Amino acid sequence: MSSANLTTKEVARLLQVSEATVKRWADDGLLHSSKTAGGHRRFSTHSIATLRREKGIGPAPGVPRPQKRNRVATVSSPVRLTELLLAGDEKEAAAFLIHAYMEGHSLAELFDKTITEAMHEVGELWFRGAITVADEHLATRAVFSALQKLRSIAVPAEPTGMKAICCGIEGDLHELPVHLAEMILEAEGWDARNLGPNTPLFSLREMVARQRPQLICISARSIADLDRATSEYAQLRKVTAKLSASVVIGGEGFRDPTIRQRFPSDFYAEDFAGLSKFVRALAKRHA
């Protein structure tokens, strides 16, 4: 796949219908397509997302997409993604992620391996002085843009009716993990609200009391004011206890077990696969 526009075969795979069906939908005007110079149809992720949303077309929720295991390593290479992100090539980065997803990688796999490793490499290059802050900003913007396109075509599970609020801790500007957590929850059928990074815990507590979610997911790369965060978190926990809401924490900021003692939670997520598993089990318990 050479751009975010998908071929007939790719759309058929994504929607789990035959190529003939995709062509018929295109001829009937149900699915907007354009043609290449060579006369081949190309479909935008937007038109597929619209079809899925408006007509409910797509794989039945919970039906796993077929996987092509032998091609898995190459289609999700973090090295290639790093190149695309550093070049600021949002379209190609989106195409790369969508293609890997269609080849059978779960979102959690893509987030934990491909995207995390690519962003770690960007961080390493910045740390060594091999790229500038501007290069790093460009790569971060590109990954967000690519993720938005991936999100538009990702197949969500059946709605669970469960509500979650995600945010990053006050003082922490690293927002990608919060966004990835939101996408995982969405894919698991949760109604997820993302407050973004740098969210004061006292303010989160007030929103939790008002919106009564079943899950709160807090990310921290680092914790700027540990004592303040600890006491505000304790207040938040009083509210979540009353609501019987679960709290998941994730990120390097919570990795140290002595820090985690200050932030008692229902689950410390090492990665997005862990989050995925936890919220699936939680939804089952509530069902």
Residues that bind ligand B12 (CB under 6 A): 111-112, 116, 119-120, 122-124, 127, 136, 140, 171-177, 180-181, 217, 219, 221-222, 250-252, 269, 271-272, 275
Query: Least Å distance between CB 177 and ligand B12?
Result: 3
Smaller CB separation from ligand B12, 27 or 225: 225
Smaller CB separation from ligand B12, 7 or 145: 145
Side-chain-side CA neighbours of 42 within 13 Å: the count stands at 13
E strand or H helix at 218, and its extent?
strand 215-219
Sign of dihedral through CA atoms 268, 159, 95, 85? negative
Residues β-bridged to residue 6: 43
Query: Least Å distance between CB 109 and ligand B12?
Result: 10
Smaller CB separation from ligand B12, 191 or 271: 271
Instruction: Give the amino acid at 83.
Output: E
Q: Are strands 41-43 and 33-35 parallel, antiparallel or unpaired?
A: antiparallel
DSSP tag of 115: I
Query: Least Å distance between CB 53 and ligand B12?
Result: 26
Instruction: Give the amino acid at 18.
Output: S
CA angle 278, 96, 74 (to 5 degrees): 85
Query: Least Å distance between CB 121 and ligand B12?
Result: 8
Smaller CB separation from ligand B12, 15 or 181: 181
Smaller CB separation from ligand B12, 20 or 173: 173
Query: Least Å distance between CB 143 and ligand B12?
Result: 8
Distance separating alpha carbons of residues 88 and 91, to the nearest angstrom: 9
